[in-house]
Amino acid sequence: MRHLLLALLVMTLSACGGGPRPPDWKQDSVSLLERYKKAELKGQNRLAESYFEQALDAVGGAARIEETARLHLVRCATRQASLSFEPCSGYLDFAKFGASAEDQAYYRFLGGQWDTLDPGKLPAQYRDFLANREPAKTADTLRNISDPLSRLIAASIAVMHRQADDATLALAAETASEQGWRKPLLVYLKLLENRAVQNGDQAAAEKLRARIKLVEHTL
């Protein structure tokens, strides 16, 4: 996730070094995108969409196609962290006119199109994840991803490809819990509850239901 924002964030760093002041549309889009991600992960759907539309307006007002495609890609990745899988048509609509190699690789990574993916275009933590996708190794690999959102995005891919064991689901749930990200937390708690029921662990299932009720009460 972080590498997708690098192109938008680098201009704010340049200002700290005494360089030219970044254009307003760049600063606005970065700020609004961060607000979008927080609202989306907290399950504040209307607020999230409001921030995203404002970010699109900021970038669209400058007629920036590549940056517009990247905004849609970040939204797809953020939603996928809550196991909301979608074709990411917004990204494709603009990527056909121009998208960076890194964005193209990330799009394929999200969709599991690994045969046509250049791992070298992904951040190191995702390259390690791709190289160690056996269920028994997934949780340990995910722990090595320091960024919480990137960890959840990788976890979503493990779920998509049926490579997520109980340890992976528990790690994803606790990652979301530590951040207070209610939307992915609720999804993973429910997956863990189903696993507990299947395993006949009634005590664990009851505890998970209690946690689920706590989260649902806030949404």
pLDDT digits (tens, 9 = 90+) for 61-100: 999 999 999 999 999 999 999 999 989 999 999 999 988 9
> In this structure, are 21 and 78 located in the same domain?
yes
Among 82, 108, 124, the domain boundary falls at 124
In the chain, how many domains are there? 2
> In this structure, are 111 and 136 located in the same domain?
no
Mean pLDDT, the chain, whole residue set:
89
> In this structure, are 91 and 143 located in the same domain?
no
SS3 109: helix
- Maximum C-alpha span of the chain: 62
Structure confidence at residue 12 as a pLDDT band (50, 70, 90): very low
List all residues 6 or more positions away from 63 whose beta carbon is below 8 Å from its beta carbon: none
> In this structure, are 105 and 200 located in the same domain?
no
Lowest pLDDT segment from 106-110, 187-191, 208-212: 106-110
> In 85-165, where does DSSP find H-type helix?
89-95, 101-111, 124-131, 135-143, 148-160
Of 1 and 90, more confident: 90
For residue 33, give its domain range: 2-124
> In this structure, are 118 and 160 located in the same domain?
no
**Does the pLDDT of residue 14 top 60, yes or no?**
no
> In this structure, are 195 and 166 located in the same domain?
yes
Structure confidence at residue 3 as a pLDDT band (50, 70, 90): low
First to last CA, the chain: 25
Among 124, 142, 174, the domain boundary falls at 124
pLDDT digits over 113-145, tens only? 888 888 889 877 788 888 877 777 889 999 999
Among 91, 124, 157, the domain boundary falls at 124
Nearest to 159 by CA among 196, 123, 187, 117: 187
> In this structure, are 139 and 184 located in the same domain?
yes
> In this structure, are 190 and 207 located in the same domain?
yes
Token digits of residue 127? 């390259």
d(CA 4, CA 73): 8
> In this structure, are 108 and 170 located in the same domain?
no
> In this structure, are 31 and 114 located in the same domain?
yes
